[in-house]
Structures are given as structure tokens and as C-alpha cells.
Amino acid sequence: MRTLKTRNLSMRLIDMQPKEEWEKLQQELNDRFHFNADVVDQDGVRLAGTAWGNELCRAIRENEQALGAICKPAGQMFVHLMREGRAAFVEECDAGLVRVSVPVIRDGELLGAVGGCGLVPEEGEVDEYMVEMSSGMDAETVGRLAGTVTSVSAERVREIIDFIEAKVAELVAK
């Protein structure tokens, strides 16, 4: 007896809008809010490369050890929050940087999320020691890179979420 393979027929972000539309939104978020904007599918996989908002995050991502200690665990947690909460959220990674995420839901189905990371709360600071220990970079380098991270107020975070929610609503409605 032959076994038939079935395709997962659930809708994807690019079924709703072309990849170029999502990339355009990602770049708009980067330009407007100066953070590492991204659009991810329901599994947390980026649709396009990252639009970098600072040099620290780029250095962390390019360092396999730091990537594994900071970004990968945070990414797993963020995917869990996206799936379980199905609502916008703001969280911090172990380096002390803010992650903003707004789910993309159509007809009750979670398709992915739009958001970004790499901002430091105005009442907080980059955990430079964590970055040093997880990356092997020296304190001077980490301090210089941390200086490229933009500070963000709670009000600005709310503005970012509101903006993304409005843009996502437009794309879902088209």
C-alpha cells in the first residue's frame, strides 16, 4: 500500500501578501524606529534578512557563541510567547534589549509576527557583562558597540506597537 504525503495547507504570510510587501514593512519599521526589524512566520523563521538597528546586535549575531547564548534562547521564548499569547508583547533578551512583537492573525490562524528588537529601555541598560562573557569580546569593544543601541521609553514602545498593529491590520484586510 502506498502512503500519500500530505501538504500542510495552512495559510502563510506570503499567501496573504507578497514577500516584497512584508520586506517593505520591515524596512519601514527599521527606518522609523531604528531597531532590528523583522517579519517571522509562525515558526519564528524570518521572511527576509534583518534590517539592523545597531552594531551590537549585528556583532552578537555574527558571533556563534553569543548567538547561542543570547539570541537563540530569546528567539525560542519569543516564538512560545507569540504562539501561546497570540497578542502583542514586549520582552527583554538576556542582554537587556527590548523585543516588540505583534502577531499576524487571519481568520483565527496565527501566521507569524512583525516586530523587532535591539532597543534598550530608558530605565535600563545593556548587560555588557553578559555580552562580554557570552561572546568573548573585550569590555572596550562591547562598550563601544553598546553605544550604538537606541534608548526607548515605555511611551515610544506603545507607539511602536500601535504603528505595527495598524500596518498589520492593513495588510490582513487587503
Which residues neighbour 103 within 8 Å (Cβ) at sequence distance 6 or greater? 82, 85, 86, 87, 88, 110, 112, 113
- Would you state the pLDDT for residue 28? 97
34: left (phi over 0), alpha (psi -120 to 50) or beta: left
* 99 pLDDT above the threshold of 90: yes
DSSP one-letter code for 148: T
How many other C-beta atoms lie within 10 A of the C-beta of residue 108? Answer: 6
Q: What is the pLDDT of residue 52?
A: 92
| Grid cell digits, residue 13 | 504570510
Using one digit for the tens of pLDDT, what is the confidence trace for 3-22?
A: 444 345 578 899 999 999 99
Q: Please state, in angstroms and rounded to a whole number, the distance separating the CA atoms of residues 50 and 134.
A: 21
Contact criterion met (CB below 8 Å) for 37 and 51:
yes
What pLDDT is stored for residue 64 in this prediction? 95
Q: Where residue 126 falls among pLDDT bands split at 50, 70, 90? A: very high
Q: What is the mean pLDDT of the chain?
A: 92
Single out the residue of 29, 4, 2, 15 nearest to residue 172, CA to CA: 15
Domains and CATH numbers, the chain: 17-173 (3.30.450)
Distances (CA, A) of 88 to 3, 31, 101, 143, 155: 41, 21, 5, 31, 15
